[in-house]
């Protein structure tokens, strides 16, 4: 595919995303029906779509229209070159720019320039103060590719040399003792021997840093109450020889966990009812959230989130905290985690929890902002008395 054909394809696929189809689904179905597209084309088209989605609002302003074509035109203008040579009107290339398109477009400002919906900017400021703008701008960049070393099976040096055998270059990252940053060969990770042997998992750096902060005691009982695919369960299991239990309100989300645990050489007990093995010394609530700290990876989230959706999430977060509190042993800990940068989902949930449950207090609180080593995360550790 020529560069112009890739732009045209990205514009068409963005149009489908704007009509409500998830970007991953749009890209998968395009890849299936486009046998002519080579691996470099697929990577380029995917990158165009995600780069543009992260900056959807400012690109549409620069391109003069909230359409796939307008967004790609704005994205090209944002890169600083002249887009006209790509709009050639060929069989596979974008139609020639109209007079209106050539004259249209404007420099974005305010929340538009930060690529946030208007209603979210005050909420960013509420939680992040004078860092709100910088955080919003950082969410317009690509996220790093990070790996977690499974300390049960190897150490960072061992993982780095196993990865190098598969043509993957990685280096330790200070965000966590288990974190490696991939420098080259990221797309080879899931097919590598190091991955198949359970030495490494793909996992964001801040997600690993959260596990480092938890009070994981060998032999203690640990429940991952919102286990999902088990990323946090396995991160914790890589660090200690506690007894691990996993539960999720949607059990389907845990379907790959047994195989992942086996690959990692750890035992995870999957529960049908979170209370089955209660009480626990530690209950981790990696609660459903807006994902605002991870919008570099999942940029559609910021355009789909609504005030009502956020209020629903807050209700679910409160219910999960209350449920978790009833599962913790008397001297045990409750750890509340989100990948959000919004105070509404973080500190405010903890304050509301303590107001409902005055016997609880905060042991420690930490926030990671989206950065070169990881997504935005929040952790609050609580205990009773």
Ligand X SMILES: C[S@@+](CC[C@H](N)C(=O)[O-])C[C@H]1O[C@@H](n2cnc3c(N)ncnc32)[C@H](O)[C@@H]1O
- Residue 249 as a binder of ligand X (CB under 6 A): the answer is yes
Peptide bond into 15 cis (omega under 30): no
What burial letters (b/e) apply to 226-247, b meaning 16+ CB within 10 Å? bbbebbbbbbbbbbbebbbbbb
Residue 288 binding ligand X, by CB under 6 A:
yes
Give the interface size with ligand X as a residue count (CB under 6 A).
Answer: 17
On whether 115 is known to bind a ligand per the annotation, the reply is no
Instruction: Give the one residue of 253, 278, 347, 357 binding ligand X; rule: CB under 6 A.
Output: 253
Based on CB atoms, which residue is closest to ligand X, 125 or 152?
Answer: 152
Taking CB under 6 A as the criterion, the residue among 37, 145, 222, 227 binding ligand X is: 227
Residues 302-341 that bind ligand X (CB under 6 A): 316, 319-320
State the Cα–Cα distance between residues 25 and 32, nearest whole angstrom.
11
Among 2, 250, 306, 364, indicate the residue that binds ligand X (CB under 6 A).
250
188 binds ligand X (CB under 6 A): no
Rounded to a whole number of angstroms, the minimum distance from the CB of residue 274 to ligand X is 7
Q: Is 11 in the site for ligand X (CB under 6 A)?
A: no
CA distance 241 to 249: 25
| 231 binds ligand X per the rule CB under 6 A | yes
Closer CB to ligand X, 231 or 238, in the complex:
231
Is residue 229 near ligand X by the rule CB under 6 A? yes
Residue 128, interface with ligand X (CB under 6 A)?
A: no
Query: Which residue in the set 226, 313, 328, 350 belongs to the binding site for ligand X (CB under 6 A)?
Result: 226
379 contacts ligand X (rule: CB under 6 A): no
Q: Is 248 an interacting residue with respect to ligand X (CB under 6 A)?
A: yes
Q: Which stretch binds ligand X (CB under 6 A): 16-24, 45-53, 243-251, 327-335?
A: 243-251
Q: In the annotation, is 339 catalytic? A: yes
Q: Are 204 and 198 in contact (CB under 8 A)?
A: no
Per CB under 6 A, 364 contacts ligand X: no
User: Distances in Å between the alpha carbon of 1 and those of 7, 41, 120?
Assistant: 10, 6, 38
The answer to whether the annotation marks 184 as part of a ligand binding site is no
Q: Which of 286, 333, 345, 375 binds ligand X (CB under 6 A)?
A: 286
Closest to ligand X by CB, 112 vs 345, is: 345
Does residue 228 belong to the site contacting ligand X (CB under 6 A)? yes
| Residue 179 contacts residue 373 (beta carbons within 8 Å) | yes
Q: Is 41 annotated as belonging to a binding site?
A: no
Count Cα neighbours of 148 within 13 Å in the Cβ-side half-sphere. 28
List residues bridging with 171 in a β-sheet: 181
Q: Is 261 in the site for ligand X (CB under 6 A)?
A: no
294 binds ligand X (CB under 6 A): no
CB nearer to ligand X: pick between 86 and 328: 328
Verify binding: residue 225, ligand X, rule CB under 6 A: yes
Return binding residues: 248, 272, 286
Residues found near ligand X in the complex (CB under 6 A) = 225-232, 248-250, 253, 286, 288, 316, 319-320
Active site residue ranges = 339
Annotated binding site for S-adenosyl-L-methionine: 248, 272, 286
């Amino acid at each position: 595919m020529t560069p112009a054909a890739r732009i045209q394809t990205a514009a068409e696929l963005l149009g489908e995303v704007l009509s409500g189809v998830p970007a991953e689904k749009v890209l998968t179905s395009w890849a299936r029906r486009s046998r002519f597209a080579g691996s470099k084309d697929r990577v380029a088209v995917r990158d165009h779509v995600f780069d543009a989605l992260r900056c959807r609002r400012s690109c549409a302003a620069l391109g003069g229209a909230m359409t796939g074509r307008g967004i790609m035109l704005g994205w090209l203008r944002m890169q600083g070159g002249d887009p006209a040579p790509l709009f050639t009107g060929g069989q596979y290339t974008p139609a020639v720019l109209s007079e209106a398109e050539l004259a249209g477009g404007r420099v974005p400002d305010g929340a538009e320039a930060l690529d946030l919906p208007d209603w979210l900017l005050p909420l960013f400021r509420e939680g992040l103060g004078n860092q709100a703008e910088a955080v919003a701008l950082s969410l317009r960049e690509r996220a790093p590719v990070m790996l977690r070393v499974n300390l049960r099976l190897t150490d960072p040096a061992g993982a780095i040399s196993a990865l190098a055998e598969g043509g993957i270059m990685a280096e330790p990252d200070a965000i966590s003792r288990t974190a490696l940053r991939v420098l080259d060969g990221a797309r080879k990770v899931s097919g590598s021997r190091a991955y198949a042997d359970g030495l490494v998992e793909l996992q964001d750096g801040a997600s690993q840093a959260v596990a480092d902060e938890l009070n994981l005691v060998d032999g203690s009982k640990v429940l991952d109450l919102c286990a999902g695919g088990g990323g946090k369960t396995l991160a914790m299991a890589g660090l200690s020889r506690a007894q691990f239990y996993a539960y999720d309100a949607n059990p389907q989300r845990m379907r790959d966990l047994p195989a992942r645990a086996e690959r990692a050489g750890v035992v995870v007990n999957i529960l049908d009812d979170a209370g089955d093995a209660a009480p626990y010394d530690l209950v981790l609530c990696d609660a459903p959230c807006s994902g605002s700290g991870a919008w570099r990876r999942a940029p559609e989230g910021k355009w789909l989130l609504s005030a009502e959706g956020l209020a629903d999430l807050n209700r679910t977060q409160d219910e999960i905290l209350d449920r978790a509190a009833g599962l913790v042993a008397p001297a045990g800990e409750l750890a509340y985690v989100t990948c959000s940068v919004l105070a509404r989902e973080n500190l405010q949930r903890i304050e509301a929890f303590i107001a409902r449950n005055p016997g609880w207090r905060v042991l420690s609180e930490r926030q990671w902002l989206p950065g070169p080593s990881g997504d935005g995360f929040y952790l609050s550790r609580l205990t009773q008395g």
